[in-house]
Structure 1
Protein backbone atom coordinates (compact mmCIF):
# COMPACT_ATOMS: atom_id res chain seq x y z
CA UNK A 1 0.00 0.00 0.00
CA UNK A 2 1.30 3.47 -0.83
CA UNK A 3 2.49 5.41 2.19
CA UNK A 4 -0.10 8.17 1.61
CA UNK A 5 -3.07 5.77 1.24
CA UNK A 6 -4.96 5.48 4.53
CA UNK A 7 -6.18 2.00 5.46
CA UNK A 8 -9.87 1.14 5.33
CA UNK A 9 -11.70 1.59 8.59
CA UNK A 10 -13.59 -1.42 10.02
CA UNK A 11 -16.96 -0.27 8.60
CA UNK A 12 -15.50 0.21 5.10
CA UNK A 13 -13.75 -3.14 5.23
CA UNK A 14 -16.90 -4.84 6.51
CA UNK A 15 -19.03 -3.33 3.75
CA UNK A 16 -16.51 -4.38 1.12
CA UNK A 17 -16.23 -7.98 2.34
CA UNK A 18 -20.01 -8.32 2.76
CA UNK A 19 -20.59 -7.07 -0.78
CA UNK A 20 -17.98 -9.42 -2.25
CA UNK A 21 -19.29 -12.44 -0.36
CA UNK A 22 -22.95 -11.73 -1.17
CA UNK A 23 -22.04 -11.21 -4.82
CA UNK A 24 -20.04 -14.45 -4.98
CA UNK A 25 -22.68 -16.56 -3.24
CA UNK A 26 -25.50 -15.16 -5.36
CA UNK A 27 -23.60 -15.50 -8.62
CA UNK A 28 -22.67 -19.11 -7.83
CA UNK A 29 -26.30 -20.08 -7.16
CA UNK A 30 -27.57 -18.20 -10.21
CA UNK A 31 -24.91 -19.77 -12.44
CA UNK A 32 -25.93 -23.25 -11.30
CA UNK A 33 -29.60 -22.52 -12.02
CA UNK A 34 -28.82 -21.07 -15.46
CA UNK A 35 -26.63 -24.07 -16.35
CA UNK A 36 -29.24 -26.60 -15.20
CA UNK A 37 -32.26 -24.86 -16.75
CA UNK A 38 -30.86 -23.38 -19.97
CA UNK A 39 -27.30 -24.66 -20.36
CA UNK A 40 -26.17 -21.02 -20.15
CA UNK A 41 -23.21 -19.38 -18.46
CA UNK A 42 -23.88 -16.23 -16.47
CA UNK A 43 -22.34 -14.07 -19.22
CA UNK A 44 -24.43 -15.78 -21.89
CA UNK A 45 -27.55 -15.09 -19.84
CA UNK A 46 -26.52 -11.44 -19.46
CA UNK A 47 -26.09 -11.15 -23.22
CA UNK A 48 -29.43 -12.78 -24.02
CA UNK A 49 -31.25 -10.76 -21.35
CA UNK A 50 -29.72 -7.52 -22.63
CA UNK A 51 -30.70 -8.35 -26.20
CA UNK A 52 -34.15 -9.48 -25.07
CA UNK A 53 -34.69 -6.12 -23.37
CA UNK A 54 -33.57 -4.18 -26.44
CA UNK A 55 -36.48 -2.73 -28.47
CA UNK A 56 -35.35 -4.52 -31.65
CA UNK A 57 -33.55 -7.43 -29.99
CA UNK A 58 -30.17 -6.21 -31.25
CA UNK A 59 -27.09 -4.41 -29.98
CA UNK A 60 -23.59 -3.65 -31.18
CA UNK A 61 -21.04 -6.05 -29.81
CA UNK A 62 -18.86 -3.26 -28.40
CA UNK A 63 -21.80 -1.91 -26.38
CA UNK A 64 -22.58 -5.43 -25.17
CA UNK A 65 -18.96 -5.96 -24.09
CA UNK A 66 -19.05 -2.74 -22.08
CA UNK A 67 -22.42 -3.59 -20.56
CA UNK A 68 -21.43 -7.04 -19.33
CA UNK A 69 -17.85 -5.94 -18.62
CA UNK A 70 -16.22 -8.46 -20.91
CA UNK A 71 -13.24 -8.16 -23.23
CA UNK A 72 -13.91 -7.91 -26.94
CA UNK A 73 -12.37 -11.33 -27.52
CA UNK A 74 -14.36 -12.80 -24.64
CA UNK A 75 -17.57 -11.44 -26.10
CA UNK A 76 -16.68 -12.76 -29.56
CA UNK A 77 -16.16 -16.22 -28.04
CA UNK A 78 -19.46 -16.13 -26.09
CA UNK A 79 -21.35 -14.78 -29.12
CA UNK A 80 -19.94 -17.63 -31.19
CA UNK A 81 -21.15 -20.20 -28.67
CA UNK A 82 -24.62 -18.64 -28.61
CA UNK A 83 -24.68 -18.40 -32.41
CA UNK A 84 -23.78 -22.10 -32.81
CA UNK A 85 -26.78 -22.94 -30.61
CA UNK A 86 -29.02 -20.73 -32.77
CA UNK A 87 -29.76 -18.33 -29.90
CA UNK A 88 -28.32 -15.23 -31.61
CA UNK A 89 -27.23 -14.09 -35.05
CA UNK A 90 -24.30 -11.85 -35.93
CA UNK A 91 -24.34 -9.39 -38.81
CA UNK A 92 -22.52 -6.23 -39.90
CA UNK A 93 -23.87 -3.17 -38.14
CA UNK A 94 -26.27 -1.19 -40.31
CA UNK A 95 -24.78 2.04 -38.92
CA UNK A 96 -21.09 1.20 -39.28
CA UNK A 97 -19.68 -1.52 -41.52
CA UNK A 98 -16.75 -2.00 -39.12
CA UNK A 99 -19.14 -2.89 -36.30
CA UNK A 100 -20.97 -6.14 -35.64
CA UNK A 101 -24.52 -6.40 -34.33
CA UNK A 102 -25.78 -9.31 -32.27
CA UNK A 103 -29.50 -10.16 -32.47
CA UNK A 104 -31.47 -12.56 -30.30
CA UNK A 105 -33.42 -15.24 -32.17
CA UNK A 106 -36.77 -16.83 -31.32
CA UNK A 107 -34.81 -19.79 -29.90
CA UNK A 108 -32.85 -17.35 -27.72
CA UNK A 109 -36.09 -15.83 -26.44
CA UNK A 110 -37.40 -19.33 -25.69
CA UNK A 111 -34.31 -20.13 -23.60
CA UNK A 112 -34.76 -16.84 -21.72
CA UNK A 113 -38.38 -17.73 -21.04
CA UNK A 114 -37.29 -21.11 -19.70
CA UNK A 115 -34.60 -19.75 -17.35
CA UNK A 116 -36.33 -16.60 -16.04
CA UNK A 117 -38.71 -18.23 -13.53
CA UNK A 118 -35.87 -20.10 -11.81
CA UNK A 119 -33.62 -17.07 -12.02
CA UNK A 120 -36.19 -14.89 -10.31
CA UNK A 121 -36.78 -17.63 -7.78
CA UNK A 122 -33.09 -17.75 -6.87
CA UNK A 123 -32.94 -13.96 -6.54
CA UNK A 124 -35.96 -13.96 -4.25
CA UNK A 125 -34.78 -16.96 -2.20
CA UNK A 126 -31.21 -15.82 -1.64
CA UNK A 127 -31.08 -12.06 -2.04
CA UNK A 128 -34.52 -10.59 -1.41
CA UNK A 129 -35.97 -12.99 1.21
CA UNK A 130 -34.20 -11.44 4.23
CA UNK A 131 -35.05 -7.88 3.10
CA UNK A 132 -38.26 -5.91 3.42
CA UNK A 133 -39.34 -3.24 0.93
CA UNK A 134 -37.60 -0.46 2.91
CA UNK A 135 -34.35 -2.47 2.97
CA UNK A 136 -34.50 -2.92 -0.79
CA UNK A 137 -35.05 0.80 -1.38
CA UNK A 138 -32.28 1.68 1.09
CA UNK A 139 -29.87 -0.72 -0.58
CA UNK A 140 -30.70 0.31 -4.14
CA UNK A 141 -29.73 3.99 -3.88
CA UNK A 142 -26.12 3.52 -2.70
CA UNK A 143 -25.52 0.60 -5.06
CA UNK A 144 -26.77 2.67 -8.00
CA UNK A 145 -24.51 5.52 -6.90
CA UNK A 146 -21.47 3.23 -6.82
CA UNK A 147 -22.42 1.61 -10.14
CA UNK A 148 -22.75 4.99 -11.85
CA UNK A 149 -19.42 6.12 -10.39
CA UNK A 150 -17.72 2.97 -11.67
CA UNK A 151 -19.42 3.20 -15.08
CA UNK A 152 -17.96 6.69 -15.59
CA UNK A 153 -14.53 5.04 -15.69
CA UNK A 154 -14.32 3.48 -19.18
CA UNK A 155 -14.38 -0.32 -19.01
CA UNK A 156 -11.43 -2.22 -20.37
CA UNK A 157 -13.40 -3.23 -23.45
CA UNK A 158 -13.75 0.45 -24.38
CA UNK A 159 -10.03 1.16 -24.11
CA UNK A 160 -8.25 1.80 -27.40
CA UNK A 161 -6.60 -1.28 -28.82
CA UNK A 162 -2.84 -1.37 -28.69
CA UNK A 163 -1.23 -1.95 -32.03
CA UNK A 164 1.38 -4.64 -32.20
CA UNK A 165 4.70 -3.45 -33.51
CA UNK A 166 7.05 -5.57 -35.54
CA UNK A 167 10.18 -6.39 -33.63
Structure 2
Protein backbone atom coordinates (compact mmCIF):
# COMPACT_ATOMS: atom_id res chain seq x y z
CA UNK A 1 0.00 0.00 0.00
CA UNK A 2 1.32 3.43 -0.91
CA UNK A 3 2.38 5.65 1.97
CA UNK A 4 -0.17 8.27 0.86
CA UNK A 5 -2.94 5.78 1.59
CA UNK A 6 -1.63 5.00 5.08
CA UNK A 7 -4.16 7.41 6.64
CA UNK A 8 -6.98 5.26 5.20
CA UNK A 9 -8.33 3.10 8.02
CA UNK A 10 -11.78 2.12 6.76
CA UNK A 11 -13.67 1.66 3.53
CA UNK A 12 -17.42 2.01 3.85
CA UNK A 13 -19.86 0.89 1.19
CA UNK A 14 -23.40 1.56 0.11
CA UNK A 15 -25.29 -1.75 0.05
CA UNK A 16 -27.82 -1.76 -2.82
CA UNK A 17 -26.36 -1.05 -6.24
CA UNK A 18 -22.80 -1.12 -4.89
CA UNK A 19 -22.11 -4.39 -3.05
CA UNK A 20 -25.25 -6.24 -4.15
CA UNK A 21 -27.58 -5.99 -7.13
CA UNK A 22 -30.29 -3.49 -6.26
CA UNK A 23 -33.68 -5.10 -5.62
CA UNK A 24 -35.94 -2.20 -4.60
CA UNK A 25 -37.24 -2.54 -1.03
CA UNK A 26 -35.76 -6.02 -0.71
CA UNK A 27 -36.90 -7.86 2.40
CA UNK A 28 -36.07 -11.32 1.05
CA UNK A 29 -32.56 -12.65 1.78
CA UNK A 30 -32.87 -15.16 -1.09
CA UNK A 31 -32.84 -12.24 -3.55
CA UNK A 32 -29.41 -11.00 -2.44
CA UNK A 33 -26.90 -11.28 -5.29
CA UNK A 34 -23.43 -9.76 -4.85
CA UNK A 35 -21.80 -7.79 -7.63
CA UNK A 36 -19.07 -9.79 -9.36
CA UNK A 37 -15.75 -9.27 -7.60
CA UNK A 38 -17.26 -7.79 -4.42
CA UNK A 39 -16.02 -10.60 -2.15
CA UNK A 40 -12.51 -10.42 -3.63
CA UNK A 41 -12.31 -6.65 -3.05
CA UNK A 42 -13.57 -6.96 0.52
CA UNK A 43 -11.16 -9.80 1.30
CA UNK A 44 -8.30 -7.67 -0.06
CA UNK A 45 -9.26 -4.76 2.21
CA UNK A 46 -9.60 -7.04 5.23
CA UNK A 47 -6.23 -8.58 4.40
CA UNK A 48 -4.68 -5.10 4.50
CA UNK A 49 -6.11 -4.56 7.98
CA UNK A 50 -8.67 -1.98 6.87
CA UNK A 51 -12.07 -1.88 8.52
CA UNK A 52 -15.12 -2.35 6.30
CA UNK A 53 -18.66 -1.20 6.79
CA UNK A 54 -22.02 -0.88 5.09
CA UNK A 55 -24.25 2.21 5.20
CA UNK A 56 -27.70 1.90 3.72
CA UNK A 57 -30.77 4.10 3.36
CA UNK A 58 -33.84 1.92 3.92
CA UNK A 59 -36.83 4.23 3.46
CA UNK A 60 -39.04 1.17 2.94
CA UNK A 61 -39.13 0.86 6.74
CA UNK A 62 -40.61 4.36 7.16
CA UNK A 63 -43.03 3.66 4.32
CA UNK A 64 -44.25 0.42 5.88
CA UNK A 65 -42.98 -1.68 2.96
CA UNK A 66 -40.28 -3.40 5.04
CA UNK A 67 -39.64 -4.15 8.69
CA UNK A 68 -36.29 -3.67 10.41
CA UNK A 69 -36.25 -7.46 10.91
CA UNK A 70 -36.45 -7.94 7.14
CA UNK A 71 -33.66 -5.39 6.59
CA UNK A 72 -31.53 -7.20 9.18
CA UNK A 73 -32.23 -10.56 7.52
CA UNK A 74 -31.06 -9.18 4.17
CA UNK A 75 -27.98 -7.65 5.87
CA UNK A 76 -27.19 -11.01 7.47
CA UNK A 77 -27.35 -12.64 4.04
CA UNK A 78 -25.00 -9.99 2.66
CA UNK A 79 -22.52 -10.94 5.40
CA UNK A 80 -22.92 -14.65 4.66
CA UNK A 81 -22.01 -14.00 1.03
CA UNK A 82 -19.41 -11.25 1.42
CA UNK A 83 -17.85 -11.88 4.81
CA UNK A 84 -18.03 -9.97 8.09
CA UNK A 85 -18.22 -6.21 8.21
CA UNK A 86 -16.88 -4.19 11.13
CA UNK A 87 -19.84 -1.83 11.18
CA UNK A 88 -23.37 -1.57 9.79
CA UNK A 89 -25.46 1.60 9.70
CA UNK A 90 -29.06 1.68 8.48
CA UNK A 91 -31.25 4.75 8.09
CA UNK A 92 -34.90 3.65 8.39
CA UNK A 93 -36.27 7.12 7.64
CA UNK A 94 -37.88 8.58 4.53
CA UNK A 95 -36.58 11.68 2.77
CA UNK A 96 -39.47 13.63 4.31
CA UNK A 97 -38.26 12.85 7.85
CA UNK A 98 -35.32 15.30 7.52
CA UNK A 99 -33.11 13.11 9.73
CA UNK A 100 -29.35 13.51 10.06
CA UNK A 101 -28.56 9.93 9.06
CA UNK A 102 -30.18 9.59 5.62
CA UNK A 103 -27.67 10.05 2.81
CA UNK A 104 -26.76 12.64 1.53
CA UNK A 105 -26.56 13.73 5.19
CA UNK A 106 -23.30 12.65 6.84
CA UNK A 107 -24.83 11.02 9.93
CA UNK A 108 -24.24 7.37 9.06
CA UNK A 109 -20.63 8.03 8.06
CA UNK A 110 -19.99 9.95 11.29
CA UNK A 111 -21.64 7.21 13.35
CA UNK A 112 -19.68 4.45 11.61
CA UNK A 113 -16.41 6.31 12.11
CA UNK A 114 -17.21 6.98 15.78
CA UNK A 115 -17.94 3.29 16.30
CA UNK A 116 -14.65 2.40 14.58
CA UNK A 117 -12.72 4.96 16.64
CA UNK A 118 -11.49 6.90 13.62
CA UNK A 119 -11.96 10.36 12.11
CA UNK A 120 -14.06 10.64 8.95
CA UNK A 121 -10.95 11.84 7.07
CA UNK A 122 -9.53 8.33 7.65
CA UNK A 123 -12.48 6.73 5.84
CA UNK A 124 -13.68 6.41 2.29
CA UNK A 125 -17.22 5.75 1.11
CA UNK A 126 -18.02 3.94 -2.14
CA UNK A 127 -21.49 4.19 -3.64
CA UNK A 128 -23.47 4.17 -6.85
CA UNK A 129 -25.41 7.45 -6.73
CA UNK A 130 -24.76 11.12 -6.08
CA UNK A 131 -26.15 11.11 -2.53
CA UNK A 132 -23.43 8.62 -1.57
CA UNK A 133 -20.67 10.94 -2.76
CA UNK A 134 -22.44 13.94 -1.21
CA UNK A 135 -22.60 12.14 2.15
CA UNK A 136 -18.86 11.43 1.98
CA UNK A 137 -18.11 15.06 1.14
CA UNK A 138 -20.36 16.34 3.95
CA UNK A 139 -18.70 14.00 6.46
CA UNK A 140 -15.15 14.87 5.41
CA UNK A 141 -14.50 11.39 4.01
CA UNK A 142 -13.27 10.47 0.57
CA UNK A 143 -16.05 9.47 -1.84
CA UNK A 144 -15.84 7.29 -4.93
CA UNK A 145 -18.74 6.80 -7.32
CA UNK A 146 -19.18 3.46 -9.09
CA UNK A 147 -21.96 4.21 -11.59
CA UNK A 148 -24.66 1.74 -12.57
CA UNK A 149 -27.37 2.19 -15.22
CA UNK A 150 -29.48 4.13 -12.67
CA UNK A 151 -26.72 6.65 -11.91
CA UNK A 152 -27.57 9.98 -13.52
CA UNK A 153 -25.06 11.69 -15.84
CA UNK A 154 -24.97 14.81 -13.65
CA UNK A 155 -24.05 12.64 -10.63
CA UNK A 156 -21.11 11.19 -12.55
CA UNK A 157 -20.03 14.67 -13.68
CA UNK A 158 -20.19 16.02 -10.10
CA UNK A 159 -18.29 13.15 -8.46
CA UNK A 160 -14.67 13.91 -7.49
CA UNK A 161 -13.66 10.32 -8.26
CA UNK A 162 -15.37 7.79 -10.50
CA UNK A 163 -14.47 4.13 -10.97
CA UNK A 164 -15.76 1.52 -13.40
CA UNK A 165 -16.23 -1.11 -10.68
CA UNK A 166 -15.43 -1.92 -7.06
CA UNK A 167 -11.96 -3.22 -7.88
CA UNK A 168 -11.02 0.03 -9.62
CA UNK A 169 -12.57 2.08 -6.78
CA UNK A 170 -10.44 0.32 -4.18
CA UNK A 171 -7.34 0.64 -6.39
CA UNK A 172 -7.94 4.44 -6.48
CA UNK A 173 -8.21 4.53 -2.69
CA UNK A 174 -5.06 2.50 -2.14
CA UNK A 175 -3.08 4.82 -4.42
CA UNK A 176 -3.75 7.66 -2.00
CA UNK A 177 -5.65 10.95 -2.11
CA UNK A 178 -6.91 12.22 -5.45
Alignment TM class, shorter chain as reference: under 0.3
The structure with the largest alpha-carbon Rg is: 1
More strand by share: 2
TM-score by length of 1: 0.25
TM-score after normalising by structure 2 = 0.24
